[in-house]
Amino acid sequence: MAAKQPTQEELAAHRMRQQEFEDAARQVQSLVDNIRHDPMKLHKVTVHGATKTRESFMHRILQPALDARSLHEVIGLSRQAVRRMERFGIFEDVKLQLDSTSEPWLQDRKDLIDLGIWVTEASRLQIKTGTEAGNAEASMYGAMTLKNVFGGAETLSTSMAFGTRTSSAFQFAFATPLLADPDKNLSFNLFSQARNNTQWSSYEEELKGGSLKYTTLSPLGYHEFAYEGNWREVCRPAEKASLSIREQCGHSLKSALTHMWIHDMRDEPLMPSTGHFVRVIQEYAGLGGDVNHLRQEVEAQVARSNEAGYIVSATVKSGYLHSLDGKRSKISDRFFLGGPMSVRGFKSNGLGPREGEDSLGGDAYMSAGVSLLTPFPGLTTRDAFKAHFFANAGTLVSVEPGQTAKKTVDDLTKAPSVSVGAGIVYRHPQVRIELNFALPLMAAKTDAVSRGWQLGLGISFL
Amino acid sequence: MSDREEQVISTESEPVVEIVEEVQPDGSIIRKKKTTRKITKRVLTTGSSTLVSSSTNESEHASASTTTLEESKHELSTDATAITTDTTTTDTTTATATTSTTNTDNAGSAVDLSVDAEQPPSSTGRSFKYRFFGEGDSGNHPFYKYLAKFPLKQSPAPHTRSRPIKAILYAYAPGWHVGQESSLESEKSPVGSFDVESLKWMSYLKFNNIEFELKPAFEPGMSPSGKLPFLALPNGSFVTADGFESWVQDNKSQSAASKLDLQEAAEAVAFIALAESKIHAALLYTLWFEPSHFHTTTRQHYFGHYHWILTKVLSYMEKSNVASSMLLTRTQIDRELIFEEAATAIEALAVQLGDKDYFFGKSEPSGLDAVVFSYLHVILTMPRIRNAEDAGRSGELTRIVRKHENLFKYSQNIWKRWFAA
């Protein structure tokens, strides 16, 4: 209670303390300011409490600080080093202290300074279990992570998950930062997955493979370069599976190089109110294996808002799969479109070429959406709730090998599926939830339409 | 009706009972009880590729005039309606129905038969979901009628696949391609098979004059039973090994395939069992456990369509499957014993056949001929392996069969008459 209603004296005392602190800070600041450009060198760096971390690793992090030539630089560079250490996630707490040198024979050298770093290392073993819901899928998972395995912020993790769409997934991963830089990461993955696509395509898919991935930051954004080798098997067609799905059954081996570039300038990914976002994924498959194609996917989003809480966002997504060996694409590589997080007003993956109840996927797609988010009547004070009006359009077509670009473009623009609707959006810290009443305006004869209420739960929406 | 398959699926929904109260001018209340029951009958006809779905809505109205609060009791009996639906084999479908309904005297019966009729929903049967979430049931509520208008504009389907006219046989095909006859075959349309089971189906279908389209397939996983071959019928259903024999019996034309009498049929069963246990084992041994044959031929034919890594991995997996399946019936895989037994079985078949065209001296082939021919043809057309390591071991089974000139002639004649033509 006392904390809530401080008395006058307490307030005065607090103000006094604050004043004292500010005065002291100002004094130190002016002191430092006076000598900031004086020549100053780090004489000794002592790291306390880093028992598991390799010395060479720490050395690499602290190396830049040793090049400091003035007090100003010493402070700046050692702070940078500490920030870098914190970003690896292997220390719970990092404190630093600058002090005059302790060696008696150097006491009179005012241009030498000692840096002391006190760290508390985080525990090496981390075990997580839980349930997750997102991207129209619910799953439970368990993961075990060994951090800082070889003392260089390397992580070794194994995880498994069981869910509605990914029936089971096992993964083993080893990741290490390169050159003690938290932005440059090299990781090696082994995985085995079983995907259940029976809801829209009447088949299951088993996937086993490995990948080598390098991620880095450039001034343009986030980059990911990967090589991936996959053994895929389309299997267990459902009883009602159509012949086109059955004919897709079988094994295939894919070996591909991928590059992903993400440029994200939005204020937040779930319900952005300002900024823009671009993602480009390129894949070349054909280094061995029996799949030979180029696969491109581009996504762009822009959002604008005003003070009254009205947000307009527009998203465009497009993909193209180009066969390089004249063979028709396999269903595992194709694109799927439609659903509450894609083109609303249609069932999940319910657009494009279909046979019976099965979506066959397509080789080229385009989809676009415009959303207007307004304060929800009655809930104007709550930012997490918004009323939602949208218009979506999308088209997914298959491309015969050797088909002219003109025909592909014609097919894509000929008959888009269009829907409009309105609803409510709730932004949970981890996930965006939408309940919309959607009406398809234009659709192909075979499209799986879903008129009426549609619930969407996920991270990335059209 | 004999040359096409007919499947009748009759579904009967739960009767929906509605009680409607009407106040009469004289103050009494008439309770009307209305029973609506929907009987849907689907006739699937393969020969004509028509699908007729007829639905009968049978409603009964029973009304009784009662005084104010007294409960009215109705004895309502609805006898099952007998509906016979006949479809013509032409594209236009006509459906006639004769319905006999016995009801209480004052009940008026209304039978209305229409193709693809939707059940008019009763006002009480409207579910929560229907009322609040437009999906699912479509109804006569003005809002949902309006909703059903969407999408306002429909464009043609981006992918269409025409219904097949004939049954499609998905089977390992074509034959070995190296050997006596099949090398002469044109490459255009696949014919024959290197797989005994596939060839068995083909010859049995041909013997019974059932037309089919052959599609080469190498992926057992695509079959509903997990095994090749299988038949995809024009009506969308599948025939696997379990229903094959009865399906053929239902669909064959009368003239085809000779009928065996009871004793012959029993003997045929014995010979089929002999072939499928003794000759089969020797064939499996040759295909999978003679290293030269396995590496140069078997692997290429069963898994050659995959990437070479998968070909290797999958063929070794299949090899171990074959081994464990063989070990189900024997304690060890003993080459000498297997070939000895096969030789005895083949000799028995040769003796039984004699110099006749078909088994039991028939003029037309029977099921036994389909089985024996399949084994003989696959064995006789197997590519010959010529290398020092093999030293003729892969050809041993072929040599055993070649000893019997009548079996060789028999196999050749059947191939010429039924396949090569």
pLDDT digits (tens, 9 = 90+) for B291-347: 988 998 899 899 988 888 999 999 999 999 999 999 998 888 889 999 999 999 999
A307 in contact with chain B, both atoms CB, cutoff 8 A: no
Q: Consecutive 10-residue runs of chain A (462 residues): their mean pLDDT?
A: 67 90 88 77 84 86 84 84 86 84 75 85 87 75 89 90 88 91 92 90 92 92 94 90 90 94 92 93 91 94 91 95 90 93 91 90 94 85 87 93 89 91 90 91 90 87 87
B219 in contact with chain A, both atoms CB, cutoff 8 A: yes
Mutate to test the interface with A, among B129, B159, B160, B317 (most CBs of A within 10 A): B159
Phi then psi dihedrals of residue A208, to 5 deg: -135, 140
Residues near B269 by beta carbon (within 8 Å), at least 6 away in sequence: none
**Which residue from A minimizes the CA distance to B219?**
A250
Q: Which residues of A410-427 are buried (b: 16+ CB within 10 A; e: fewer)?
A: ebbeebbbbbbbebbbbb
Confidence of residue B33 (pLDDT cuts 50, 70, 90): low
* CB-CB contact of A366 with A218 (8 Å): no
Whose tokens are 């007294």? That residue is B70
* Range A380-386 contact pairs with CB under 8 angstroms and sequence separation of 24 or more: A380/A309, A383/A309, A383/A427, A384/A426, A384/A427, A384/A428, A385/A424, A385/A425, A385/A426, A386/A271, A386/A309, A386/A311, A386/A424, A386/A425, A386/A427
Confidence of residue B184 (pLDDT cuts 50, 70, 90): very low
Report how far residue A118's alpha carbon sits from residue A84's, in angstroms, rounded to the nearest whole number. Answer: 15
Instruction: With CB atoms and an 8 Å threshold, state whether B159 touches A250.
Output: no
ipTM at complex level: 0.76
**SS3 state of residue A399:** coil
Report how far residue A211's alpha carbon sits from residue A256's, in angstroms, rounded to the nearest whole number. Answer: 9
Please, is A224 exposed, middle or buried when counting C-beta atoms within 10 Å of its C-beta (0-12, 13-18, 19+)?
middle
**Which residue from B minimizes the CA distance to A286?**
B307
Q: Which residues on chain B are in Cβ contact (under 8 Å) with A442?
A: 151-155
Confidence of residue B361 (pLDDT cuts 50, 70, 90): confident
* CB-CB contact of A371 with A390 (8 Å): yes
Mutate to test the interface with B, among A445, A449, A454, A455 (most CBs of B within 10 A): A445
* CB-CB contact of A269 with A243 (8 Å): no
**SS3 state of residue A311:** strand
* CB-CB contact of A370 with A389 (8 Å): no
| Structure confidence by residue, pLDDT tens digits, B225-281 | 988 899 999 888 899 998 898 999 888 876 655 677 889 889 999 999 999 999 999
CA distances to A129, A145, A168 from A158, rounded to whole Å, are 12, 7, 14
Instruction: With CB atoms and an 8 Å threshold, state whether B158 touches A352.
Output: yes
A231 in contact with chain B, both atoms CB, cutoff 8 A: yes
| Structure confidence by residue, pLDDT tens digits, B203-227 | 999 988 888 999 888 989 899 998 8
Confidence of residue B150 (pLDDT cuts 50, 70, 90): confident
Identify which of A242, A447, A453 has the shortest CB distance to residue B133: A453
| Structure confidence by residue, pLDDT tens digits, B236-246 | 889 999 889 89
Pairing relation of β-strands A432-444 and B153-155? Answer: parallel
B158 in contact with chain A, both atoms CB, cutoff 8 A: yes
* CB-CB contact of A457 with A133 (8 Å): yes
- What structural domains and CATH numbers belong to chain B? 4-127 (no CATH), 167-420 (1.20.1050.10)
Instruction: With CB atoms and an 8 Å threshold, state whether B151 touches A237.
Output: no
- What structural domains and CATH numbers belong to chain A? 15-121 (3.10.20.310), 197-458 (2.40.160.50)
CA distances to A48, A75, A288, A403, B360 from A284, rounded to whole Å, are 48, 47, 11, 19, 62
* CB-CB contact of B31 with B82 (8 Å): no
Q: What is the pLDDT of residue A216?
A: 94
- Scanning B358-397 for CB atoms below 8 A from A yields none
Mean pLDDT, chain B, rounded, equals: 72
Higher pLDDT: B83 or A41? It is A41
Q: Which residues on chain A are in Cβ contact (under 8 Å) with B217?
A: 247
**SS3 state of residue A398:** coil
Which region among A28-32, B122-126, B152-156, B256-260 has the lowest average model confidence (pLDDT)? B122-126
In one letter, which amino acid is A133? A
